[in-house]
Amino acid sequence: MPSFDSSRGRFKFAERHLAVFAHLLDKETPPAELYHSLGELQQIGLVGPEGELSPLLREFLTALARPLVMIQAEVTGQHGSLAHGLVVGQDAVFSHDAWPGEEESEYVPIEPGTLVWEMARKVKLRREERAAAENSASVSVTSITSTMGALDALFAALEDVTDEHADLRDVARTALSAAAGDLAEPELTALVDLTLNLDATWRMTTAWGAENAQSVRSIAVWDCGVHGYWLRVQPEEPIQEGQVGPGSTLRLVRSSAGEVWDKLADLLPEKDELLAAAASA
């Protein structure tokens, strides 16, 4: 069910509610499959009986309909994948957060000057890194190169474990050794350590410009808990559908919270890039 808090200008919407708004902004009647969603929006007073949009929605819908920059954070963790993001409009910026098991995302207005901070919050970037495990092989390793197929085999082996007393480290090592015969020590053990200690993997993407000439930047990061941050530099972002297969190279490079922060900031377009995109629209 959608909801809103007028005192803070925040909203909770599912994708189907945004689809209703898109039709109403285009002066169209939403299709039959969206009638229930339209009714929910009318029930809470954000849409009138004739499809009138509440003034409370003006800033939000203006930013959504004519964004300068769209930012998406795809975060995969214990509860599966969640999509968070930001919509940067001419006069307002809205941040949205998903929640595990919930259909709706919360949309909250933020100050433009806090944009990078908000991007960092989406992925739980920590200012101070946790100390690395002293006896871990990953301490001396700065990069790891393997294949996506080997990584898939490692994860598949872990998912197949049914014995709660099984040594997951041995399971992972055996699977990785069989699938990645050219991966030597200490990189092999390091990759096992990283996968067993994954807090989350995430990808942050920014896009701006007309749809037929859109500019896109993206980074992918592994948050490996006590083993720190690792940039997934291959497969290189942004990845197109069908571009990656089992034989594709997987390359991870050790990073730091400070470097990841800088890379998040670098995802944002400069003013001249936005002006060029507007001129070509």
**Per-residue 3-state assignment (H helix, E strand, C coil) for 195-253:** HHCCCEEEEEEEEECCHHHCEEEEEEEEECHHHCEEEEEECCCCCCCCCCCCCCEEEEE
pLDDT digits (tens, 9 = 90+) for 181-216: 789 899 999 999 999 999 999 999 999 998 888 999
**Where along the chain do its domains lie?**
130-281
Angstrom distance (rounded) from CA 8 to CA 80: 30
Task: Say if CB 221 and CB 206 are below 8 A apart.
Answer: no
Q: Return the pLDDT at 137.
A: 60
- Strand 215-223: give its sheet, edge to edge: 3-5, 10-13, 105-110, 93-97, 80-88, 69-77, 200-208, 215-223, 229-234, 249-254, 143-147
pLDDT lower than 50: segments of the chain = none
Nearest one of 115, 85, 79, 92 to 15, comparing CA atoms: 85
Q: Return the pLDDT at 213.
A: 83
